[in-house]
Amino acid sequence: MTRISRAAGSLAARLLPVELRVWAEALWAEAAQVPSASERAGWLAGGLWLIARECLMIRRVRVSILFVVAAVLLARTAWAGEPTGFDTGVVWGLVVTTVAVLALLPRVVRNRLGPVADSPLARVLRFATYAAILGLIVALAGVLRSSHMPSRVRPENPLPIALLLPWSVFLLLLAGYVAVILIVTAQRSSITARTLAIGTGAGISLGLVMYAIMPLGMNQYATAPWLRGTAIDPVVVLAWILLLGGPVAAAVLAGMRHAPAGGRLRLVDARIRQSIAAGLLSTLVGSLIVCVLGPVTLVLLPRAGLLVHLVYPGRQLTAATLANNVAVLAQGAVGYFLIWLVFPLIGLVLGANTGLVAWHRGRAIGPGNGPGGGGADDGDPAPVPSGDLGREPADEETSVAVGAFVAMRG
C-alpha cells in the first residue's frame, strides 16, 4: 500500500517544477521514518496536499484549470439537445477543433517563444482572446441550433462541401487569430508592450464602432430626428476611417515610439516589425470584437430586454416580430465571415506598407534626418536611444509623417 502511494506520489511530484520536486521527494523519503501505517498514510496525504498546493500557486496551472473548466462548460452547452443532423455535426466539429487549437497552440508557441510576457496587457490580451473565442463558439452553436438546418440537410445525405468549406476556413482563421495573439504576447517576442497597447487600442475603437453598426444598427440614427436628412452616415464614415486609417496611425505610432539600442539597420527593421504588428493587431482585435459581440448579441437578443431596447430603441416588438428580426439579422453572418477573413489582411497590408514606407523613407532622407539620427547604415550605433524611448528628433517625425502620407496614398 505504502509502495503504491509512494509511486503515486512520485508520479504526482512530476507535476511540480523541477526546483520544487526535491521537496516532494524529501517528504516521500521521510515517510520511511514514520512508524505506524495510519500515521504514514497521513504523512503521504500531506505530501499530496503539498503537491496540489504548490501546483495551484503556479499561474500556468491555474490558467490551465480555468481553461479546462471553460472547455467542459462549452462542450456541455454544445452537446445539449438531441443530435439532429448536420448542425450537430458542425457544432461538435467546432467545439472539438476550437478546444484542440486553444489547448495546443500555447504549447507550440511556448516551445519557440517562451511563456506569456511579463506584462499585464499581454496576459489580459491572451485571456480576453480565449474568453472571446469560447464565447463565440457558444454563440455560433446557439445560432446553428436555431437555424433549422436539419430540415434542409438530412442526416442520411452526405455533408455538402459547399457548407463544410466556409467552416474549415473559419476554423483555420480562428487558429491564425489565436496564433497571432499568442506570438505577439510571448516573452521572447520582439513586439513591445507599447506596440501591443497601440494596436489593441486601435482595434478596440474599430471593433466597438463596427459593433455599433452591426448588429446594433446605430447608423440608422442618421435618419432619426437629430440627424434627419444626413446624406452620409457619420458612424459608417467613422468605421471606414478607423478601418483604413487606424492601422496606418497605429503603425506609425508604434514605429515612432520604438527605439532599441543597436545599429541603424536593426533600428529600421525593429520599427518596421513594430509597425506591421500594430497594423495587424488593430484590425485583428477589431475583427475579434465585432465577430464575437455580434453573434453573442444575436443569441441574447430574444432573452435580454436591455439589448432589444438598444437595437430597437422606442419600439414595442412582439416575440414573433423579434424572432423574425433576429433571423433577418442572422442573415448578416456572411458579413461577419468577411470581416473575420478580410480585416486582418487589411491591417497586415496597411501596417506593412506604412512601416516599409515610413522607416525606409526616413532612412532614405539621408544622414542626420532619418530615424535614429545620422551616421552610416550598418553597424553604427544609433545615437538617439538615450533612456527616453518616447523622445525622437523633430526632423525624424517630419520624415515619418511624409512616409505615412505616402503609405496612405499608396
Partner 1 sequence: MAPRSRFSAQTLAVLAALAGEPSRWHHGYALAKRTKLKSGTLYPILIRLAERGLVEACWETEPPPGRPRRHQYRLSTDGLAAATAALAAADAVAGTRPAADEPDRRRRALRPVTESRVRLARATSGTPA
Minimum CB separation of residue 41 from partner 1 in Å reads 11
Angstrom distance (rounded) from CA 270 to CA 122: 19
Q: Judged by CB under 8 A, does residue 47 bind partner 1?
A: yes
| Subset of 85-114 contacting partner 1 (CB under 8 A) | none
Give the nearer residue to partner 1 in terms of CB position, either 51 or 357.
Answer: 51
Q: Judged by CB under 8 A, does residue 22 bind partner 1?
A: yes
Give the nearer residue to partner 1 in terms of CB position, either 20 or 208.
Answer: 20
First to last CA, the chain: 75
Q: Judged by CB under 8 A, does residue 368 bind partner 1?
A: no
Number of residues that bind partner 1 (CB under 8 A): 22
Give the nearer residue to partner 1 in terms of CB position, either 28 or 130.
Answer: 28
| Stretch in the footprint of partner 1 (CB under 8 A) among 24-32, 98-106, 252-260, 332-340 | 24-32
Angstrom distance (rounded) from CA 189 to CA 210: 30
Residue from the set 33, 38, 316, 331 that interacts with partner 1 by CB under 8 A? 33
Q: Judged by CB under 8 A, does residue 395 bind partner 1?
A: no
217's grid cell: 444598427
Minimum CB separation of residue 37 from partner 1 in Å reads 15
Peptide bond into 215 cis (omega under 30): yes
**Given the C-alpha cell 424572432, which residue does it identify?**
323
Q: Judged by CB under 8 A, does residue 312 bind partner 1?
A: no
Residue from the set 5, 9, 13, 27 that interacts with partner 1 by CB under 8 A? 27
Residue from the set 25, 233, 380, 397 that interacts with partner 1 by CB under 8 A? 25
379's grid cell: 553597424
Distance of CA 252 to the CA centre of its chain: 22
Give the nearer residue to partner 1 in terms of CB position, either 30 or 377.
Answer: 30
Length of the chain: 410
Type of residue numbered 314 = G
Angstrom distance (rounded) from CA 405 to CA 399: 10
Angstrom distance (rounded) from CA 176 to CA 188: 19
Give the nearer residue to partner 1 in terms of CB position, either 46 or 114.
Answer: 46
Q: Judged by CB under 8 A, does residue 401 bind partner 1?
A: no
Q: Judged by CB under 8 A, does residue 3 bind partner 1?
A: no
Minimum CB separation of residue 147 from partner 1 in Å reads 53
Taking residues 52 to 71 in sequence order and writing x for each that binds partner 1 by CB under 8 A, - otherwise, the string is: -xx-----------------
Q: Judged by CB under 8 A, does residue 21 bind partner 1?
A: no
Residue from the set 15, 20, 153, 265 that interacts with partner 1 by CB under 8 A? 20
Q: Judged by CB under 8 A, does residue 23 bind partner 1?
A: yes
Q: Judged by CB under 8 A, does residue 26 bind partner 1?
A: yes
Q: Judged by CB under 8 A, does residue 45 bind partner 1?
A: yes
**Given the C-alpha cell 453573434, which residue does it identify?**
295
| Stretch in the footprint of partner 1 (CB under 8 A) among 45-53, 58-66, 74-82, 214-222 | 45-53
Please report, as ranges, the residues that interact with partner 1 according to CB under 8 A: 20, 22-23, 25-27, 29-30, 32-34, 42-50, 53-54
